[in-house]
Amino acid sequence: MAVLAGLAAICGAGNAREAGPHDAVAGVTPKYVAAPGCTEEVAAVLRLAADQALTVVPRGTGTKLAWGAPPRSVDLVLDTTRLARVVEHAAGDLVVVVEAGTRLDTLQETLAAHGQRLALDPPSGGTVGGTVAANAAGPLRLLYGTARDLLIGVTVVRADGVVARAGGKVVKNVAGYDLGKLFTGSYGTLGVITQAVFRLHPLPAARAYVTRTVADAAEASRLVQAVLRSQLVPAALELDLPRPGGPATLVVLLEGAPAGVPARAETLVALLGGDARAGEEAPPWWGRHPFGPDDITLKIAYPIADLEAVMTALAGAGGLEPTLRGSVGTGVLHAGLPGDADPAAVARLLGTLRQALRPWGSAILLQAPPAVAVDRWGDVPALALMRRVKTQFDPAHRLSPGRFVGGI
Amino acid sequence: MADPTASEALSRLAHRFRAALGERAVISDPVELATYSCDGLTHYTATPGLVVLPETTEQVQEVVRGCAELGVPYVARGSGTGLSGGALPRADGVLVVTTRMRRIIEIDIPNQRAVVEPGVINLEVTRAAAPHGFYYAPDPSSQQVCSIGGNVAENSGGAHCLKYGFTVHHVLGLEIVTPDGEVVWLGGKTPDSPGYDLAGVFVGSEGTLGIVTKIVVRLLRAPQVVRTLLAGFRSTDEAGGAVSAIIGAGVVPAAIEMMDALAIEAAEASVHCDYPRGAGAVLIVELDGPSADVAQQFAEVERHCREHGAFEVRVAADDVERAEIWKGRKSAFAAVGRISPDYLVQDGVIPRTALPEVLRDIAELSARSGVRVANVFHAGDGNLHPLVLFDESVPGQGERAEEVSGAILDLCIRHGGSITGEHGVGVDKAKFMPRMFTSEDLDTMQLVRCAFDPAGICNPGKVFPTPRLCGEVPGKRKGVHPLVEAGRAELF
Ligand SMILES: Cc1cc2nc3c(=O)[nH]c(=O)nc-3n(C[C@H](O)[C@H](O)[C@H](O)COP(=O)(O)OP(=O)(O)OC[C@H]3O[C@@H](n4cnc5c(N)ncnc54)[C@H](O)[C@@H]3O)c2cc1C
Ligand SMILES: Cc1cc2nc3c(=O)[nH]c(=O)nc-3n(C[C@H](O)[C@H](O)[C@H](O)COP(=O)(O)OP(=O)(O)OC[C@H]3O[C@@H](n4cnc5c(N)ncnc54)[C@H](O)[C@@H]3O)c2cc1C
């Protein structure tokens, strides 16, 4: 078959095949899977796809692939896992250039050997490209931000197969538009990321985790404010609520110099009161999502001071019992519900939440079975501009069609 | 103004804006217009066709709508301190000045945010937050005069970027008036707004994607302690070695600034900062954070400085001494006026590890051309600000200085760096963009421009040397566009 032969000619036999059921993207089964081995091969694959009018979804290691709406169509899955080289680790410059299909945990091992890290700890690793495309972040986002803040350069292949680069290899750089920001969180709808350049941080010399049980939403909110107004510079501030209405756990991560961390931990224990205690180990749930692969999953962003309102809205969720976890220091929570939860109740919950979050917050349905028929993204301001950006980058709407806000 | 249709359009707009915004919001008197003819880069000048000073978002919207309807180009201007000609007006266009949009709308401490209008002066945000123990981190040297709107457009940095990042890391939301006259919010008070990160792209777009009318910024808790030292070295090589050792030890200082002998000489001549005698380079290192952490890391920094040849290390005992240390550095730009009648301020970036080599190359360039170069820079992030000295009254010196200044940018590009770290591309460096980026790269950036401003009337002629025509098939262009060649279309 001509398409497959073309893909094999580009990627090498064995790196292009017909798709199987396990290649489905949020329930939609593609026709082909191709795994190009370098940026030029990605460009050639996308040119072929353009010529043949194929729709394409990029894929890293694959489990965030169900995030976002199912694609309206997918002919080709572009597998990035062969793009797995750490191209350049300029340790003295605290910069790394890495191919998009590199697993984040592999990258961290390479960096750690030099006493450095990419200060990004999204749940379950994944690839660099997938992490950037989904703008996934973990606890460290409080002090270091997300991929958006750490990405200083990017190479992308556009829908028409043109290779473009923005940013560069220096941290301080304002030449031209910052396309890295645009691609961060774009869910594979604007182009395929093939390389990323990140600024790095030294691994901290010392760490402490301070843990405190909290009784209710009001107490959680009060303690979060107290920590944020202290001089203790938390690196992360996480809340875990395994059962709504039940007790929650607040954990603060402190990082820094060996002479400073223990003293700060002590001050923090006193500040938090109650059963607060300091330890060196992270709790088992640290940096993990509060849901399993088949669960209905939500991402909630809210102004930090609205924590109590958000928790209250979730607790009164008409019979549903969402598990809740996230970065209460930055106002980003993830929630999980069983995959077979009543679709109407899920829709009501989203409605209640979005009402409570007006005007600044958002509640996104990351993943849900088709029966949950609601708008996954909620009201998105500037949607008309976003559509125009999409149309400029991908006029034929062939990249991950329908997966993103407003059906982009 | 040569073009009669342009001048007619402008007088229609003047009439319309006077009716809508009031008499005092519109300037059309030629003498008054001339005061807006340049920004901080004074060798490019143009008298704007019309100046308007709106006070509200609705008024900005009215102005943009007027311009859009008549196809008149417009340029936003904050305080006019930009150093790349970004706010250079057009004779056939409108200059939209934000100096009357100066309200701090909200200081929201529980959410660690401030909401401000674009004309608010950078330092005013910190002043408003300080009583609560918070501050606004980005601190360009111009912070007493530059506007937050200008900072957003330039993605401004400051001495503390190394640890705290740039404007883009502290801006969460923007209300903008798009070039077709719509008012929309990009981002907001919370992170991770659904959809594309258009706020992230808007920051640093140098006024080419729209006019920002409200800005949500992050406020940070003021650090418990700040400690600053000044170290004198025989050479920039030794000082560079100390910088590498500090970074290599895993310390992330709030700032590491370096000045070379000529920059020190200028500062001494101007503000008598009394830096270590005989120093070929000085380093200013500042640490901030929790006191015990800072104490330990500060001792490390001191040790690394001495081990790398510092013959004198001064530690500021209090805020007064700290200000003394910074005085020489902060006045360096203005101070070169004391040792040279004219100078160019360059702004380029290199990977930090290339510092010694690039400084040697600059010295060689200087020796070969006979043009003196003083170096003042953010050593921590490799952001160079070479001051290229010349005397305009000596024929040929100005041109030679420009050549040296350009050659320094080529050095930056050759070492994998950037042609600008904080001052922007503007009109000044548009011609250098193709040396740093391929035409495909630039074309791809232009896709964003076409999405925001298809008619090309928002700050045209800045950043990009050859803007694309929106609507053409992307990526297939070679040479001059046929429509342009045929005289049937103009590139904006
Ligand atoms: C067999 C297996 C089982 C796993 N099970 C689990 C599990 O149960 N739970 C769990 O949390 N993790 C699991 N993981 C880990 C998983 O690999 C990562 O967690 C990650 O979530 C998914 O991969 P990814 O980050 O590469 O992104 P993907 O899920 O591949 O992609 C995420 C999004 O980014 C887009 N995208 C990806 N790459 C690019 C690119 N280069 N350019 C543009 N867009 C791109 C995609 O189109 C998609 O929209 C498993 C991994 C494997 C291999
Ligand atoms: C002595 C001196 C020291 C400096 N030090 C630094 C430094 O340390 N770090 C640094 O980064 N910069 C520095 N600068 C450069 C300058 O101060 C910054 O670029 C600043 O952000 C410009 O702000 P402004 O209000 O003066 O903007 P303007 O010069 O008025 O405009 C700059 C650009 O912003 C656009 N713009 C202005 N307002 C808006 C708006 N509301 N919406 C959209 N676009 C708008 C303009 O069109 C123009 O392109 C320095 C300048 C001087 C003179």
From the alpha carbon of B75, which atom of ligand 2 is closest?
47
d(Cα B363, Cα B179) in Å, to the nearest integer?
45
Ligand 1 neighbour A158 (Cβ under 6 A): no
Q: Across the interface, do A170 and B349 touch by the CB < 8 Å criterion?
A: yes
**A289 located within any domain:** no
Q: Across the interface, do A385 and B184 touch by the CB < 8 Å criterion?
A: yes
Q: Across the interface, do B416 and A179 touch by the CB < 8 Å criterion?
A: no
Q: What is the pLDDT of residue A256?
A: 95
Ligand 2 neighbour B381 (Cβ under 6 A): no
**A288 located within any domain:** no
Q: Which structural domains are found in chain B, ordered by start?
A: 4-97 (3.30.43.10), 104-221 (3.30.465.10), 223-338 (3.30.70.2190), 340-423 (3.30.70.2740)
Domain of A371?
A: 296-382
Same domain, A94 and A186: yes
Whether the CB of A222 is below 8 Å from some CB of chain B: the reply is no
Whether the CB of A199 is below 8 Å from some CB of chain B: the reply is no
A350 Cα to the center of ligand 1, angstroms: 25
Which SS3 state, helix, strand or coil, does residue B254 take?
Answer: coil
Same domain, A259 and A323: no
From the alpha carbon of B459, which atom of ligand 2 is closest?
47
- Beta strands per DSSP E along B109-182: 113-116, 134-135, 171-177
Percent of chain A with pLDDT over 70: 100
Question: Angle CA(A279)–CA(A257)–CA(A137) in degrees, nearest 5?
Answer: 70
Q: Which residues of chain A are within 8 Å of residue B153 when distances are taken between CB atoms?
A: none
Ligand 1 neighbour A58 (Cβ under 6 A): yes
Ligand 2 neighbour B76 (Cβ under 6 A): yes
Burial state string for B252-263 with b = 16 or more CB within 10 A and e = fewer than 16: bbbbbbbbbbbb
Q: List the residue whose alpha carbon is closest to atom 7 of ligand 2.
A: B140
Task: Decide if B89 contacts B77 (C-beta within 8 A).
Answer: yes
Q: Residue A359, preceding bond cis, omega within 30 degrees?
A: yes
**A405 located within any domain:** no
Q: What is the pLDDT of residue B479?
A: 54
Q: Across the interface, do B200 and A260 touch by the CB < 8 Å criterion?
A: no
From the alpha carbon of A67, which atom of ligand 1 is closest?
49
Same domain, A90 and A154: yes
Q: What is the pLDDT of residue A199?
A: 97
**A397 located within any domain:** no
Same domain, A259 and A164: no
pLDDT at A244 over 80: no
Mutate which of A102, A124, A366, A408 for ligand 1? The one with the most ligand atoms within 8 Å of its CB, which is A124
Question: pLDDT of chain B along its 492 residues, tens only?
Answer: 457 788 999 999 999 999 999 999 999 999 999 999 999 998 899 999 999 999 999 999 999 999 999 999 999 999 999 999 999 999 999 999 999 999 999 999 999 999 999 999 999 999 999 999 999 999 998 999 999 999 999 999 988 989 999 999 999 999 999 999 999 999 999 999 999 999 999 999 999 999 999 999 999 999 999 999 999 999 999 999 999 999 999 999 999 999 999 999 999 988 889 999 999 999 999 999 999 999 999 999 999 999 999 999 999 999 999 999 998 898 887 788 888 999 999 999 999 999 999 999 999 999 999 999 999 999 999 999 999 999 999 999 999 999 999 999 999 999 999 999 999 999 999 999 999 999 999 999 999 999 999 999 999 999 999 888 787 655 454 455 555 555 554 443
Ligand 1 neighbour A48 (Cβ under 6 A): no
pLDDT band of A319, cuts 50, 70, 90: confident
Q: What is the pLDDT of residue B427?
A: 96
d(Cα A229, Cα A305) in Å, to the nearest integer?
12
Q: What share of chain B is helix, strand, coil (3-state, %, to 5)?
A: 40, 20, 40
Q: For residue A330, give the CATH number of its domain.
A: 3.30.70
Q: What is the pLDDT of residue B473?
A: 55
Q: Give A203-214 pLDDT, tens digit per residue.
A: 999 999 999 999
B492 min Cα distance to partner chain A (Å): 17
Torsion of CA B303, B304, B305, B311, to 10 degrees: 60
10 Å CB burial of residue B459 (0-12, 13-18, 19+) is buried
Mutate which of B142, B209, B464 for ligand 2? The one with the most ligand atoms within 8 Å of its CB, which is B142
Q: For residue A171, give the CATH number of its domain.
A: 3.30.465.10
Q: What is the pLDDT of residue A1?
A: 63
Same domain, A57 and A151: no
Same domain, A220 and A316: no
Which chain A residue has the Cα nearest residue B207?
Answer: A177
Count of structural domains, chain A: 4
**A322 located within any domain:** yes
Q: For residue A43, give the CATH number of its domain.
A: 3.30.43.10
Q: Across the interface, do A175 and B190 touch by the CB < 8 Å criterion?
A: no
A364 min Cα distance to partner chain B (Å): 8
10 Å CB burial of residue B397 (0-12, 13-18, 19+) is middle
Same domain, A197 and A219: no
Mutate which of A28, A42, A61, A154 for ligand 1? The one with the most ligand atoms within 8 Å of its CB, which is A61
Of A29, A46, A81, which residue is a domain's last?
A: A81
Q: List the residue whose alpha carbon is closest to atom 3 of ligand 1.
A: A63
Ligand 1 neighbour A193 (Cβ under 6 A): yes
Which chain A residue has the Cα nearest residue B133?
Answer: A229
Q: Across the interface, do A232 and B383 touch by the CB < 8 Å criterion?
A: no
Listing DSSP states for B342-355 in one string gives EEEE--EE--GGGH
Same domain, A54 and A95: no
Residue count (chain A):
408
Chosen from A120, A177, A261, A330 to mutate, greatest number of chain B CBs within 10 A: A177
**A34 located within any domain:** yes
**A361 located within any domain:** yes
Q: Across the interface, do A92 and B353 touch by the CB < 8 Å criterion?
A: yes
10 Å CB burial of residue B272 (0-12, 13-18, 19+) is exposed
Report, as an integer, the average pLDDT of A164-173. Answer: 95
Whether the CB of A382 is below 8 Å from some CB of chain B: the reply is yes
Q: For residue A255, give the CATH number of its domain.
A: 3.30.70.100
10 Å CB burial of residue A180 (0-12, 13-18, 19+) is buried
Of B157, B184, B447, the CB nearest to A172: B157
Which residues of A, range 49-88, sit inside 8 Å of B by Cβ? none
Same domain, A217 and A197: no
**A122 located within any domain:** yes
Of B190, B425, B441, the CB nearest to A362: B190
Q: What is the pLDDT of residue B490?
A: 46
Task: Decide if A150 contacts A122 (C-beta within 8 A).
Answer: no
A401 Cα to the center of ligand 1, angstroms: 18
Q: What is the pLDDT of residue B491?
A: 42
Q: What is the pLDDT of residue B485?
A: 59
Same domain, A94 and A163: yes
Q: What is the pLDDT of residue B45?
A: 95
Of A248, A279, A310, which residue is a domain's last?
A: A279
Same domain, A109 and A189: yes
Ligand 2 neighbour B333 (Cβ under 6 A): yes
Q: Give A246-293 pLDDT, tens digit per residue.
A: 889 999 999 999 999 999 999 999 999 999 999 999 999 999 999 998
Ligand 1 neighbour A124 (Cβ under 6 A): yes
* Closest ligand to the CA of A80: 1
